[in-house]
Amino acid sequence: MGFLDDSSDIRNRIIEESVPGKQVTIAHVIASPMQDIYERLGIEEAGAIGILTLSPYETAIIAADIAVKAANVKIGFLDGFTESVFLSGDVQSVETALAAVTDTLKNMLGFTVAPITRT
């Protein structure tokens, strides 16, 4: 029985880490979403859905607070683990809420923010 020569079996290991930065990676408005989207998200039907992904995870709580204080929106989903927030309301309210969140995080807390997009 021979020994395995480890030098011939070179393996590279890649270790990936998520290093939270201060950023808003998605700020998106879905205007007039299909009914199926509301059902799958388990949220009440409204005129629009706002989606935010943020880091670090605590920012999801801050963003939800800013959003509901800035406009007539409801929090449909808030999760620090996935660093995401879903908002619902009429289109203008959702846009106003997302603008308030991105402006506050950028100007007050020094975040890098993605532009607000809409479909």
Domain ranges of the chain: 23-118
Tokens 């995080």 belong to which residue? Answer: 105
- Closest alpha carbon to 95 in 50, 35, 42: 50
Closest listed residue to residue 59, CA positions, set 79, 88, 86 = 79
Distance, in Å, from the CA atom of 47 to the CA atom of 32, rounded to the nearest integer, reads 5
Per cent of the chain over pLDDT 70 is: 87
Q: How confident is the model at residue 33 (pLDDT cuts 50, 70, 90)?
A: very high
Confidence band for 80, pLDDT divided at 50, 70 and 90: confident
The mean per-residue pLDDT over the stretch 73-77 comes to 92
Given pLDDT bands bounded at 50, 70 and 90, which one contains residue 79? Answer: confident
The rounded Cα 118 to chain-centroid distance in angstroms is 15
62/82 Cα distance (integer angstroms): 15
Whether the predicted model's global pTM rises above the 0.75 cut: yes
Mean pLDDT of the chain: 87
- For CA atoms 31, 35, 41, 43, the dihedral sign is positive
Which homologous superfamily is 23-118 in?
Answer: BMC (bacterial microcompartment) domain (3.30.70.1710)
